Amino acid sequence: MALKSTVFKAELQIADMDRGYYGTHAVTLAQHPSENDERLMVRLLAYALHAGAGEEPLSFANGMTQTDEPELWRRSLVGEVELWIDVGLPDEKWLRRASNRSEAVVLYTFGRNAPLWWTQQRGALERFANLRVRQLGAASTQALAALAQRSMRLQITVQDGHLWVADDRESVEVELVEVKEARER
């Protein structure tokens, strides 16, 4: 018998002073049986960092179960992919496909192996003009995982390049490093 996904509900109160965006979002996301809390929270953080940008809303795709979809995306009214957001340490082939299918691609890497992965992949990924790579500190994402609950109320604050995520119990400062900026096409 196959295991079912676990449903998480989150209310995100976002204050992104760097972008001038302030909003509240009710988000429902499914945690695949093979996904840990750390990865789930990175997906939720990626949502918060891109919420409110663009005319169309972000939506969670089927990145864990469909090999041709990201974790999050923003699609135009005619179905074109405007923004492709993924998390983890994908291979160059996957990112090339994403880069060809979307106007902009943002990748959030995390975990102990993320710096090593970037060192190994950097040469191949530098050629993708529309790819932006952001690296989250391992200690930060592990602390985020501790905030995971089936029902969450989180405050996300971004100011002067610093990022904090808090619930009613604790606050986590998230280390976020831009390792590759997207170039203008």
User: What is the average pLDDT value for the chain, to the nearest integer?
Assistant: 92
Q: Is the pLDDT of residue 82 over 70?
A: yes
> What is residue 17's predicted lDDT score, i.e. its pLDDT?
95
* Residue 1: predicted pLDDT: 53
Task: Enumerate the β-bridge partners of residue 132.
Answer: 106
Mean pLDDT of all residues in 33-52? 95
pLDDT at 2 over 60: yes
63, pLDDT greater than 60: no
Would you say residue 65 has pLDDT above 70?
Answer: no
% of the chain exceeding 70 in pLDDT:
95
pLDDT attached to residue 67: 63
Q: How many CB atoms lie within 10 A of CB 101?
A: 15
Element (H, E) at 163: strand 162-166
Residue written as tokens 């005319």? 55
pTM: 0.93
Q: What is the pLDDT averaged over residues 91-105?
A: 94
Dihedral (CA of 139, 63, 179, 124) sign: positive
Q: Which of 145, 148, 144 is nearest to 171 (CA)?
A: 144
Query: Can you give the residue ranges of every domain in the chain?
Result: 6-180
pLDDT > 90? residue 127 = yes
The single-letter DSSP state of residue 178 is E
H or E element in which residue 95 lies: helix 92-101
Per-residue pLDDT reduced to its tens digit, 158-171: 999 899 999 999 99
How sure is the predictor about 66, in pLDDT bands with cuts at 50, 70 and 90?
Answer: low
pLDDT at 57: 84
Query: What is the domain class of 6-180 according to CATH?
Result: alpha beta
Q: Is the per-residue pLDDT at 64 higher than 60?
A: no
Question: Highest-confidence range of 49-58, 62-71, 136-145, by mean pLDDT?
Answer: 136-145
Q: For the ranges 28-32, 68-72, 143-147, 161-165, which has the lowest average pLDDT?
A: 68-72
Confidence of residue 68 (pLDDT cuts 50, 70, 90): confident
